Chains A and B, each alone.
Chain A
């Protein structure tokens, strides 16, 4: 795998506040890295250092072998950046703005026109081409920002909260756009929406107070959840004794704990937690068949990302 982005011991100090505290990670081509963290965690500050807007207090950022402080132009050429809030010149029209960005990116002539036309179609901006950006809705403004960032087909794409403030349809569109580009690029996006990580990211880093607290694929992070591999079972309440059933479930091997979700005259629902790193769904299913319970529903949980997020970010 080709390493495109390399961050080493990155720090940023604002007066007494340490906004980014010794962060290191690498990202390879093809990865979509989600930067996850509560507000004020240091996500934007990290991105501003990667894109060369802020100078790090310490540490290095290397893109494709170029150091951001030593060869800023080489790095900036390779990056497409959507800053937080998608800033754009308010009195320019969409077309003029994209033309300006394309010119700065070194495109000209037919190549420039072709590229702008492609992007405008891809991001769906045809209807607002000749409208001043200040008159655009939030969703369109965000799309103009995205168009600007991907105009030169950058190797590295940095998106700060690309779907913030968009409606569900717009979110879906932006996510499909990101997924479609993922293969040939490195994409780093920040978000505090957890479903986004599952939807688009191949890897997630959770940061809080400027520190990395977890780094892994969404599945790996979910495995840290106490719900990981927990089994939920719903049974029809026939003649069976509830106490007996609970005991039977607890007796299945590797079961750690049982929680009663609901016991009514018709049905009973339990959540059963395994001992660490064990899978119990097969054994529970076997037990239910043996005892001839009437199973309405039985499933194993992958784990809850939001619960992992909350646990991890509140511990520190």
Chain B
């Protein structure tokens, strides 16, 4: 990690905590995780000691929370004109894009780690397979990164944070739904099997549920990392092209 990437990362991460954003995000995240897991997920009635209901709601939780976090990444720099300051400092665009992205990603990791009381409860109540739970956390973290990289790119397109938010939600929704049985059934009537498999292979759900069931397949991990690489590369190109607009 280059020195400048680290400096950008540090500034960015501490800026989350300088405003109420961090606290609001973390509280909402914990609150909704709790509600989803304990009420909607029938945590107690299922009689099983695992965190499957907790993780299965993460894609939907991220669908709204992550775009809200990501929308400010670049849009804010444009709005306050600090983008001109940042990009005339002796740093590369890669340092700037990666530094900002990593800060947001580590921030979601912090929010994720703060759900540990749920993990403690499940260990207190029963005898869960903690390796599977760890895999769930890993999958959730990777998925958050993929959502964030999409948000980073959309935030680079516009100065308007609301627009950035909406487009990110739509794109992320497409990535979730592409693995949904209902959607796939809809296509299966008239599209060849290869195309349908391609569509579903881009689904966050397919890859995430595989990992969160405890099956850590390198291909699923690679999927998320290549997705992040793609969207971050697109972010860098867009920033380079449109930085002064």
Q: Do A and B associate with each other?
A: yes
Q: Is B81 part of the contact surface with A, judged by Cβ < 8 Å?
A: yes
Known: A89-B15, A91-B18. 11 other contacts (CB 8 A): A52-B87, A52-B88, A53-B88, A76-B88, A77-B90, A79-B88, A81-B85, A89-B11, A92-B11, A92-B18, A104-B8
Docked Cα-Cα span, A53 to B7, in Å, equals 20
Q: Is A199 part of the contact surface with B, judged by Cβ < 8 Å?
A: no
Q: Is A85 part of the contact surface with B, judged by Cβ < 8 Å?
A: yes
What 0/1 readout, one digit per residue, does chain A (73-113) give for beta carbons within 8 Å of chain B? 10011010101010111111000100011011110000000
Q: Is B158 part of the contact surface with A, judged by Cβ < 8 Å?
A: no
> In the complex, which residues of chain B have a beta carbon less than 8 angstroms from the beta carbon of A88?
82, 85
Do the beta carbons of B90 and A104 come within 8 Å of each other?
yes
Do the beta carbons of A89 and B244 come within 8 Å of each other?
no
Our pick among A48, A132, A148 for the contact of B244 (Cβ within 8 Å) is A48
Instruction: Tell me the minimal C-beta distance from B212 to chain A in angstroms.
Output: 36
Do the beta carbons of B243 and A83 come within 8 Å of each other?
no
Q: Is B183 part of the contact surface with A, judged by Cβ < 8 Å?
A: no
Do the beta carbons of B90 and A87 come within 8 Å of each other?
no
Docked Cα-Cα span, A81 to B92, in Å, equals 17
Q: Is A51 part of the contact surface with B, judged by Cβ < 8 Å?
A: yes
- Would you give 5 A-B contacts (Cβ < 8 Å), ordered by A? A76-B89, A81-B85, A91-B19, A92-B11, A104-B89
Our pick among B15, B88, B92 for the contact of A83 (Cβ within 8 Å) is B88
> In the complex, which residues of chain B have a beta carbon less than 8 angstroms from the beta carbon of A91?
15, 18-19
Question: How many residues does chain A have at the interface if contact means C-beta atoms less than 8 Å apart?
Answer: 27
> In the complex, which residues of chain B have a beta carbon less than 8 angstroms from the beta carbon of A85?
81
Our pick among B18, B80, B82, B91 for the contact of A104 (Cβ within 8 Å) is B91
Instruction: Tell me the minimal C-beta distance from B9 to chain A in angstroms.
Output: 11
Instruction: Tell me the minimal C-beta distance from A129 to chain B in angstroms.
Output: 15
What 0/1 readout, one digit per residue, does chain B (80-114) give for beta carbons within 8 Å of chain A? 11101101111110000000000000000000000
Docked Cα-Cα span, A85 to B82, in Å, equals 10
Do the beta carbons of B89 and A101 come within 8 Å of each other?
yes
Instruction: Tell me the minimal C-beta distance from A104 to chain B in angstroms.
Output: 5
9 closest Cβ pairs, A-B complex:
A87-B81, A76-B90, A103-B7, A51-B88, A83-B84, A91-B18, A77-B90, A87-B82, A100-B11
Q: Is B206 part of the contact surface with A, judged by Cβ < 8 Å?
A: no
Q: Is A278 part of the contact surface with B, judged by Cβ < 8 Å?
A: no
Instruction: Tell me the minimal C-beta distance from A94 to chain B in angstroms.
Output: 13
Q: Is B49 part of the contact surface with A, judged by Cβ < 8 Å?
A: no
Instruction: Tell me the minimal C-beta distance from A302 to chain B in angstroms.
Output: 38
Q: Is A54 part of the contact surface with B, judged by Cβ < 8 Å?
A: yes
Decide yes or no: A90 and B88 within 8 Å by CB, A53-B243, A54-B244, A103-B7 being known contacts.
no
Do the beta carbons of A73 and B90 come within 8 Å of each other?
yes
Q: Is B4 part of the contact surface with A, judged by Cβ < 8 Å?
A: yes
Docked Cα-Cα span, A104 to B80, in Å, equals 20
Docked Cα-Cα span, A105 to B89, in Å, equals 8
What 0/1 readout, one digit per residue, does chain B (216-245) give for beta carbons within 8 Å of chain A? 000000000000000000000000000110
> In the complex, which residues of chain A have a beta carbon less than 8 angstroms from the beta carbon of B244?
48, 53-54
> In the complex, which residues of chain A have a beta carbon less than 8 angstroms from the beta carbon of B11?
89, 92, 100
Docked Cα-Cα span, A48 to B243, in Å, equals 11
Do the beta carbons of B7 and A100 come within 8 Å of each other?
yes
Instruction: Tell me the minimal C-beta distance from A246 to chain B in angstroms.
Output: 58
Residues from 51 to 105 in B contacting A, C-beta threshold 8 Å: 80-82, 84-85, 87-92
> In the complex, which residues of chain A have a beta carbon less than 8 angstroms from the beta carbon of B18?
91-92, 132
Decide yes or no: A104 and B4 within 8 Å by CB, A76-B88, A81-B88 being known contacts.
yes
Instruction: Tell me the minimal C-beta distance from A5 to chain B in angstroms.
Output: 15
> In the complex, which residues of chain A have a beta carbon less than 8 angstroms from the beta carbon of B92?
73
Most B C-beta atoms less than 10 A away, residue of A51, A79, A91:
A91
> In the complex, which residues of chain A have a beta carbon less than 8 angstroms from the beta carbon of B3?
106
Docked Cα-Cα span, A100 to B89, in Å, equals 11
Instruction: Tell me the minimal C-beta distance from B244 to chain A in angstroms.
Output: 5
Instruction: Tell me the minimal C-beta distance from B203 to chain A in angstroms.
Output: 37
Instruction: Tell me the minimal C-beta distance from B23 to chain A in angstroms.
Output: 14
> In the complex, which residues of chain B have a beta carbon less than 8 angstroms from the beta carbon of A90?
80
> In the complex, which residues of chain A have a beta carbon less than 8 angstroms from the beta carbon of B8?
104
Docked Cα-Cα span, A105 to B91, in Å, equals 9
CB-nearest residue of chain A relative to B6? Answer: A103
Most A C-beta atoms less than 10 A away, residue of B7, B15, B87, B89:
B89
Most A C-beta atoms less than 10 A away, residue of B3, B14, B82, B85:
B85
CB-nearest residue of chain A relative to B244? Answer: A54
Instruction: Tell me the minimal C-beta distance from A84 to chain B in angstroms.
Output: 8
> In the complex, which residues of chain A have a beta carbon less than 8 angstroms from the beta carbon of B243?
53
Instruction: Tell me the minimal C-beta distance from B202 to chain A in angstroms.
Output: 34
> In the complex, which residues of chain B have a beta carbon less than 8 angstroms from the beta carbon of A96?
14
> In the complex, which residues of chain A have a beta carbon less than 8 angstroms from the beta carbon of B4?
104
Most A C-beta atoms less than 10 A away, residue of B14, B80, B81, B90:
B90
